[in-house]
Amino acid sequence: MSELPIVVLPVGSDDDALDATLAALEAGTAPGTRVWLADNASTGPRGAAIIERWLAATRLRADYSRRQRRIAELDHLDEVLAACGGADVAVLAADAVPLPGWLERMAACLASDGAVASVSAWSNAGEAVAWPRIGETVPPPAEPARLARAAARMPAGTPELPAAVGHAVVLRGAALQKARGLDVDSFGSWDAGLTDLSLRLAGLGWRNVLCTSAFVARPAEGLPADGDMERLAARWPDWHARLAGFLMDDPLRGARAQLSALLADTGPPHPQADLFP
């Protein structure tokens, strides 16, 4: 496979979530992967210390930037994505906890079909891609390493989604440029901006898909900015009906059940796995 997408992590103000995300990113991502910690003037002294300590020890190829003044979430992400210059990018939510193998599998899904513009992962808080039950938010997995091994056994698949989901998404750089980036004039939040982007990409003939073998946990679903849902409904009058139809029909039911069955069939890791890879 070619070089993995650039991982973009917008740094939030929750220091504990930041610490957990960086630890999971380090443990679950291939050494040498490019990572950009993009701070929208959000961190305090403790958050800055966490980042400094992580940057000094990480095996990832990481960079850190901090704005002098805070701007809207979507404006900040649009700046960062534009600076990536058309490269494929994996955007994580500030509190996301990626499970091992997440990026390689999502990147493989992107590479499997040139018509794919966005790839989302399963999540405990992913609405349309929620697991184990669609549309429900449950606590993060109690045994993330075991769930990651179960997900790795899933057959390769890229089922269609109504839109990408904001906990973790890989975006094809060429598609993002074709769609002219995020609409920062209409939306304020990443969740609404990503939905709008996904729908514009679909209108241009691109696909928004799920990677059935990748899982990214999150403590809770993202929230829209004030007025975002109303603006989405005005621009895309059938969006809420389409999403509701997807949640009711649940075309991912079979894949979700298969992941549950694989998890039940996945035992603990070999106690000496590090000695005998």
* Rounded mean pLDDT, 212-231: 94
Can you name the residues that pair with 11 across neighbouring β-strands? Answer: 39
Residue 266 has pLDDT above 50, yes or no: yes
- 226-263 pLDDT, tens digit per residue, is 999 999 999 999 999 999 999 999 999 999 999 999 99
Residue 156 has pLDDT above 90, yes or no: no
The sheet carrying 207-217 orders its strands as 61-66, 34-39, 6-11, 89-92, 168-171, 116-122, 207-217, 97-98
Residue 274 has pLDDT above 90, yes or no: no
Class of CATH domain 6-264: alpha beta
Of all residues in the chain, what percent carry a pLDDT higher than 70? 96
What confidence category does residue 270 fall into, taking pLDDT thresholds of 50, 70 and 90?
low
Domain residue spans of the chain: 6-264
Which alpha helices (DSSP H) does the chain contain, by range? 15-28, 45-57, 73-83, 102-112, 144-152, 173-178, 190-203, 228-235, 239-249, 253-264
- 159-174 pLDDT, tens digit per residue, is 999 999 999 999 999 9
Inter-helix orientation angle 73-83/190-203, to 10°:
50
Residue 197 has pLDDT above 80, yes or no: yes
What confidence category does residue 151 fall into, taking pLDDT thresholds of 50, 70 and 90?
very high
Tell me how far apart the alpha carbons of residues 251 and 128 are, in angstroms, rounded to a whole number: 10
Contact (CB, 8 A) for 27 and 103: no
Extract the tokens encoding 70: 């805070």
Predicted local confidence at residue 118, as pLDDT: 98
